[in-house]
Amino acid sequence: MFINSFIGSFMLDSKFRIQNSMDIKKILQNTLLPPLDAELLLSRTLKKPREYLFIHPEKKLTKNQIVKFNNFSKRRVKGEPIAYLFGKKEFYGLEFLVNKNVLIPRPETELLVEAALREIMNKESGIKNIVDVGTGSGNIIISIIKNIPRRIREKINFSATDISEKALHVAKKNAKKHKIDEYIKFIKSDLLEFASQRKLKGNVIIVANLPYVSKNSYQKHKDNLKYEPKTALISEKNGLEYYVRLIRKIGKIRKSGRSGQVLAFFEISPEQKKGISEIIGQALPPAKIRFFKDLSGKTRVVKIDK
């Protein structure tokens, strides 16, 4: 696909140097970019919705617009995600700011948000703390808060941790964008290390989408992932190193008596179901485990009730 896209970009580049302008219809006909990519890049260039392209196919682009579209195209054919090109990504019906310091939110992570929300609404009187570990862009905890009634929000302490200052900066901007920054305490912390100094009183929900891509898997898909931060993707021990550490930390918190019931929701890769079950069984006996599948029937989320 990228080879064809490159040819398409070259064709456009050559024609743009010859002509001062070209209409929307001709641009879409001449590019070999995938149609959706071309439409998104063109609508972004024109600052118009995609529908505009089909209503006004005769609209000619200015020279500056052509240069801008061509630059977008060149970056796209090299594999740069559209989310980074535009600096934003939709997740759970909300728009989030993203850059190369954070992982791009994925649709499958919405299952994690849904599972956590069901638990929060079922146990609204008992949940006192919600912690998003490895928050990245903040898309998970922000989506949760935006979908909780205000009367419930006021009873819960929300925290979001990340080891990256740059990621926390993005998360803070997103919280402010969605006008809920007053609810979230952002903490620079390696996983749950901050909990060693602070008490998590009452029942706690922990949500996490930690790096779970093994090195082997990354090598197979690196062309599609090369623009995203490796630290937000790759994990040792078949992709489970960070979850091993987090699960052990949860066990220590429970043994210390510093919290009430702990519920955890983690996003995992489908093939990690057996491995994560064994880790939980060893570190958190006798925790209850439940798995959630996505629409394609693949295991994506594990719930731990300790």
pLDDT digits (tens, 9 = 90+) for 83-102: 999 999 999 999 999 999 99
Res 124: pLDDT: 62
Least confident range of 121-130, 185-194, 273-282: 121-130
| Same-domain pairing of 60 and 202 | no
**Bridge pairing between strands 127-133 and 94-97:** unpaired
Most confident range (mean pLDDT) of 4-8, 63-67, 101-105 is 101-105
The chain-wide mean pLDDT, for the chain, equals: 90
- Of the residues 79, 105, 129, the one at which a domain ends: 79
Average pLDDT over residues 270-287: 94
Percent of the chain exceeding pLDDT 70 equals 90
Residues 6+ apart with CB under 8 A from 304: 247, 250, 262, 263, 264, 265, 266, 280, 284, 287, 288, 289
Question: Which pLDDT tens digit goes with each residue over 202-227?
Answer: 889 999 999 999 998 988 888 889 99
pLDDT at 125: 60
The string over 174-204, giving b where at least 16 C-beta atoms fall within 10 Å of a residue's C-beta and e elsewhere, is bbebbebbebbebbebebbebbeeeebeebb
Its domain, for residue 16, covers 2-79
If asked whether residues 108 and 19 sit together in one domain, one would say no
Amino acid at 37: D
Does 100 lie in the same domain as 72? no
pLDDT at position 18: 26
Structural domain count of the chain: 2
Residues 194 and 298 in one domain: yes
β-bridge pairing 157-162 and 184-188: parallel
Local structure of 152: helix, strand or coil: helix
Nearest to 170 by CA among 183, 186, 156, 191: 186
- Stretch among 80-84, 112-116, 121-125, 268-272 having the lowest mean pLDDT: 121-125
Examine the domain organization and report whether 9 and 112 are in the same domain: no
For 100-119, write each residue's pLDDT tens digit. Answer: 999 999 999 999 999 999 99
Supply 141's token pair: 């905890």
Q: What is the DSSP pairing of strand 299-305 with strand 288-293?
A: antiparallel
Cis peptide before 285 (omega within 30 of 0): no
User: Domain for residue 84, yes or no?
Assistant: no
pLDDT of 306 higher than 90? no
- Residue 62 pLDDT level (bands cut at 50, 70, 90): very high
Strand partners, 88: 97
pLDDT of residue 6: 42
> Do 33 and 139 share a domain, yes or no?
no
Q: Taking a C-beta distance cutoff of 8 angstroms, is the pair 193, 164 a contact?
A: no
Q: Does residue 93 sit in the same domain as residue 204?
A: yes
Residue-level pLDDT at 201 = 78
Round to whole Å and give the CA distance between 301 and 265: 7
Find the CATH number of the domain harbouring 242: 3.40.50.150
Q: Are residues 94 and 232 in the same domain?
A: yes
Query: What Å distances lie between residue 138 and 1, 117, 155, 185, 216, CA to CA?
Result: 32, 16, 20, 11, 28
Tell me if residue 273 falls in helix, strand or coil: helix
Burial class (CB within 10 angstroms; exposed 0-12, middle 13-18, buried 19+) of 75: middle
